[in-house]
Amino acid sequence: RRSSSAEPRKIFDTFTVYWENDIFASTDRDYTNGGKATWSTPLAVDERSEHLPRWSRGPIDWLPFVGDASTRRAVSVSFGQNMYTPADISRPDLQVDDRPYAGFTYLAAGFHSSDGRHRTTWEFDVGVIGPASLAKEVQDLVHRTIGVARAKGWSHQLGNEPAFEAICESSWRLLHGELGRGFDYDLIPHVGARIGTVQLYANVGAEARIGWNVPHDFGSCPIRPGCEAHSADAEPGPEGRLGAHLFAVADGRAIARDAFLDGNLFRDSHRVAKLPFVADLMGGLAVGWRRVQVSYSYVLRTRQFRTQRSEQLFGAVNFSMTY
């Protein structure tokens, strides 16, 4: 039994923050900004689930693929916001051939399980699309702070609408090999699906990594369920050592619905003709030392709708600290 003088048990021990923005590509259009903050528990084996918060024990035991208490399991909670604008933000009129203005703010709960070679993640999001997301206010504040003209078309953004999503994704750490002197490589394929009022798609892809003291986790990627929470990914490995590696990721999605292109689900709104298949190509550098991991990358996203002028390029920064 725990003594009264024992230190309180720590559950959430890692904080991860993501920032994605097209300012890195000197543009201000399409998916123009995304931010996400995540708190996660250690990925550990605990048959009584004592390392997990009490509210999570029922869902993680019930969910398929993550319910085995003999595997390493973890939980994460996140808060995020995405914003989307057309290419010409100086126009106050409705641009019928370009994407709608849209904001999405959400809370998420993630449930993770891994046996060391295979990881599955469930994420459940609840949030809001529309003016209540406060995306306009956040963008106006940032633009005012950095001295950039504010976007003038937010009066045409998608209307307020509740958002609910369930996402499942599995990854496998394959083809791990050592090159000597701490240098190694691996390949991490993944497959998943997303269903809800915001997006409906199936996705598949893979990540290749090569470097020095590559972490025994499941890789780096844009803001996407299953990629948040380094603590929830961490496996026994070169903990505490300085490491650096290059990574390249490809992810393809077959899309049935995208609210940021198809418009509101429960009301009439501006919409454009989306393309059914979209791919992300990503490359970057990750560095880790002791309890800190940092990565920087560029993402090329193929055209998402028929009248889109070109593919999109944006940058992604990821900072994670275990405390």
pLDDT of residue 211: 95
pLDDT of residue 238: 53
Calpha distance 19→30 (Å, rounded): 16
pLDDT of residue 239: 55
Measured distance between the N- and C-terminal CA atoms of the chain, rounded to whole angstroms: 25
**Cβ pair 52, 11 in contact under 8 A:** yes
pLDDT of residue 233: 59
pLDDT of residue 224: 62
What six digits make up the tokens of 61?
């035991």
pLDDT of residue 227: 58
Torsion angle of C-alpha atoms 145, 147, 153, 156, degrees rounded to 10? -10
Residue 118 pairs with which residues in a beta bridge?
Answer: 172
**Cβ pair 16, 38 in contact under 8 A:** yes
Rounded-to-5 percentages of helix, strand, coil across the chain? 10, 50, 40
Q: How many CB atoms lie within 10 A of CB 278?
A: 21
Enumerate the H helices of the chain as residue ranges.
Answer: 54-62, 135-146, 230-233, 259-262
What's the DSSP call for residue 237? S
CA 152, chain centre distance (Å)? 28
pLDDT of residue 90: 95
pTM recorded for the entire structure? 0.91
pLDDT of residue 302: 97
C-alpha angle 81/86/89, rounded to 5°?
Answer: 95
pLDDT of residue 249: 93
pLDDT of residue 182: 83
Q: How many CB atoms lie within 10 A of CB 134?
A: 16
Q: What is the mean pLDDT of each run of 10 residues along the chain (323 residues)?
A: 49 90 90 92 78 91 91 92 96 96 96 91 96 97 90 96 95 88 91 95 95 87 56 54 92 97 95 97 92 91 96 92 86
pLDDT of residue 193: 95
